[in-house]
Amino acid sequence: MLRLTLARVAVMAILVGTMTGQNGLGAEKKVPVTLRYLGTAGWEISDGATVILIDPYVSRINGPPPPGGSGSRIAGDTRPKVGWDDIATPDIAAIDSRISRADFVLVTHTHYDHVLDVPHIALKTHASVIGTESTENVMRAYGVPEEQLITVRGGEDYDFGVFSVKVIPSIHSALDHKRYFSSETAPATLKAPLTLKQIHPEGGTLAYLVRLRGHQILAFGGMNYIERELEGLQPDVALVGAAGSRKEIYDYTGRLMRVLQYPALVIPTHWDNFLLPYNASQQTAVDAVQKFVQEVKIASPNTNVIVPKYFEAIVLESAAK
C-alpha cells in the first residue's frame, strides 16, 4: 500500500516536472507543492508555507442528494438525516481534526457540499474567502469579518505575492438530465443560523487557476465549463469534475483536454458519493470513474491520471534540472 503510494508520487514527479513551467521560474519550482483530496470537490493545496483550500467539505452530513439522484444514501447509516429545512450544521469535530490552517479558501459555488464548512474554517483560520457575492453573503451571515471576504465574479486575475489566482467564469453541472437551473443568490441580509436551503443558492459558478511555485493548477467544482473561457490556459494540473453528470455534456473530456492543451496531470474531482461517510465503500464511484480515466487517455494519451484517495498526499515535484 505504502509502496503503491510512493510509486504514484514518483511518477507524478517525473511527468509533471518535465512539462510545467512556461515562465522559467526554475528556482521557484524546486519547492514541492502538495495536493490532498478532501472528498467531493474539496482540495488542500500547499507549498508548505501557504495553504489554499478549494471547496473544503469534510462534514459529509447525511444531507439531500443533488437533483437527478446521482449519489445515494446507504442503509444503516447512523448519522442524523438532514433535510433542506433543517439548520445547516457543520461537523466541527470533523473540520477541526482535518483542517488545522488555511490562508485562502476558494469556493466555486454556494451549494452545501462546497460551502457548509467554510464559515467555520474562515472563523477558525482567519483565511481569506474568495467566492461569488452569494458565497460571501453566506460568510457574512456567520459573522466572518469583511476583511476576509474577497468577492469575485469571474475574469479577475489577482496577485497575492506567493501565489496568484485567475478566476474563471464557469457553469454548474447539468444535473437532473439538464433540467437543473438556478438563478438564486444568497442575499446580504441573511443572519445565522441558516437552513440548509439558505446556504444552497448556487449564486453562479466559478473555476480557479492557481499559480503556485511554478505550477498552474486548474480547479473545477463540478462537471461543466465554458470552453472559450479556458482558451489559452496551459495548466500542468487539472482537477476535473468527473461524476456521471459529465455525460450530459457534448464531448466533455475531449473538448476539455484539447482546449487546455493536454495537461500533464489530470485528477478527477467531485467523483465520489459525498452522501456517504468517509469510511463507507466508494467502490461504485471508483469503478465508474475508470470510464473518465479512459476518456482522458483517449483524448490525451500522454496525460497522467491519478484517481485520488482521501487525504493522500499527491506531491508535484519540480523538474529541478
144 grid coordinates: 466572518
- Residues 112-131 binding Zn ion (CB under 5 A) are 113
* 44 three-class SS: strand
Give the nearest distance from C-beta 179 to Zn ion in angstroms: 14
Count of residues engaged in binding Zn ion, rule: CB under 5 A: 2
- Residue number, 195 or 234, with CB nearest to Zn ion: 195
Minimum gap (Å) between residue 222 Cβ and Zn ion: 6
Q: Kindly tell me which of 111 and 213 has the beta carbon lying closer to Zn ion.
A: 111
Closest separation in Å from C-beta 102 to Zn ion: 20
Instruction: Pick the closer one to Zn ion by CB: 40 or 46.
Output: 40
Rounded least distance, CB 126 to Zn ion, Å: 26
Output the smallest distance, CB 252 to Zn ion, in A: 16
Comparing CB distances to Zn ion, the nearer of 163 and 208 is 208
> What's the distance, Cα to Cα, between the start and end of the chain in Å?
30
Site for Zn ion contains 215 (CB under 5 A) = no
The nearest distance, CB 53 to Zn ion, in angstroms, is 15
Own/partner pairs, 174-182, CB within 8 angstroms, 24+ separation? 174/223, 174/224, 174/245, 174/248, 174/249, 175/66, 175/67, 175/68, 175/70, 175/245, 176/67, 176/68, 177/68, 177/248, 178/248, 179/67, 179/68, 180/67, 180/68
Q: Given its phi and psi angles, is residue 48 left (phi above 0), alpha (psi -120 to 50 degrees) or beta?
A: left
Residues of span 75-114 touching Zn ion by CB under 5 A: 111, 113
Which of residues 60 and 111 has its CB atom nearest to Zn ion in the complex? 111
Alpha-carbon distance of 252 to 230, in angstroms, equals 13
* Closer to Zn ion by Cβ: residue 134 or 303: 134
| Residue type, position 217, single letter | I
How far is 40 from 58, CA to CA, in rounded Å? 9
Helix-, strand-, coil-residue percentages of the chain, each rounded to 5 = 30, 20, 50
CB of 80 to Zn ion, least distance (A): 21
**Residues 26/321, Cβ–Cβ less than 8 Å:** yes
Q: In what order do the strands lie in the sheet with 313-316?
A: 149-151, 128-131, 104-106, 51-54, 42-46, 33-39, 313-316
What amino acid is encoded at 118 in this protein?
Answer: V
Task: Enter the C-alpha cell of residue 2.
Answer: 505504502
The amino acid at residue 5 is T
Residue of minimal Cβ distance to Zn ion? 111
Least separation in angstroms between CB 2 and Zn ion: 31
Q: Are 274 and 285 in contact (CB under 8 A)?
A: no
Q: Which is nearer to Zn ion, 163 or 220 (CB)?
A: 220
Judged by beta carbon, residue 73 or residue 101, the one nearer Zn ion is 73
> What is the DSSP-derived secondary structure letter of residue 235?
-
Q: What is the binding site for Zn ion (CB under 5 A)? A: 111, 113
